[in-house]
Structure 1
């Protein structure tokens, strides 16, 4: 499993928070209140691939309280940053761990298993193994910001569709968890969680990027161009033409990147 830099996670966070479905977050927090145990009032949330704590921050903005956060992340630098930002304000247990070793993940007693922009990087076998460890009678699953394979740009360019197709193909390669589900992630989660008896709520959570997200757009465009450089349908010259056009129109263009938020609650 590869890691992401603090700079990239910070760069995308404002777009992530704006995109997250607020009703799903409210529904989750309402469920936590209804499920409260008077003997043990603190709710336990296990956040997988926690990074610097973006899910924690997003739910805190929605009014979360009395949550013990188990932040699970392979990159110790990201965990240290999460503790630096929140160690005095929140109850945090940090776990530096390889998510692939599912049997060792600290899931015991969890009320929520959460992950943001993670499950689309994982494989069907990873999700199956993870859900096999979760108590479907007691544990909610909150999967936010999973890429759905759609990206729309304005102004349009003649290569947009070919670049998108090549990028989506790249999203299926192994990201450290086996062959990635990529854009098929939400449908697979929906099927797997329904089979375990969960009640599901899904909502689109697209990025809406404009000139105010210029740094993020520049990184996104460069990242897409790098990801598709070996695509059979595109020459290097064509990719550079597309990249230069996209960067030239950051100031007057718009980009929508499709994601889905999913909440699965015990029956």
Structure 2
């Protein structure tokens, strides 16, 4: 079953990761950030990921572990693996500097000179010291954008493993998680594009950096495939799956919901959260 789903899982992960390019494209062609849509979409993503983590992924992980380790030990290992996944993504998050952290949301309005100045003055983008027109200022902005791309790549690595592992077990579940990850990657594409565009004045280069930052997800999936396939068993599957659930819950609570709130539409983010849970619940019921 795992080998048959591997190429499908890799393809899903690639599509989810490269959606950072969608964010970059929107940044260059939209005149204004649609905050209501982003709040709704990010909340929806969180709802999908939280629901499947607790109602589907953790259940499958526990069943697999109990089959190999026994009822009591299986439950213990599934819980420990869940919090292990949270610890892993929390450590990655801790290593990322404040501005380069992809959780810091940016708006397409920052791509206008007036918007950039306002972003600097408000602290949404750090002071570059010598202004947008200076060589030193442009170099500093380029470094910010490059670091943002690197940070997003680091964050996307475990997300790729999460999407890949879910799709290996259940292609339908993998599609749902891939869509949720793709939505959450769109604002990250904006976060990379804004500083790189101002550093270089080159929309193409900003798009390429943003696009490439998403490649970490299929890389994460490929590494997961190479490491896991030779040793795959019910215990390994259960541990990885429970860890994936922890990663997705942390991403939802630490990234998606705060980002939805940051765009200023509290109720839209909650409506999206509930809608994501409801749609995921109905979808899973239809595939029983």
Instruction: Flag the structure with higher strand content.
Output: 1
Does TM, scored on the shorter chain, surpass 0.5? no
TM-score when scaled to structure 2? 0.28
TM-score when scaled to structure 1? 0.30
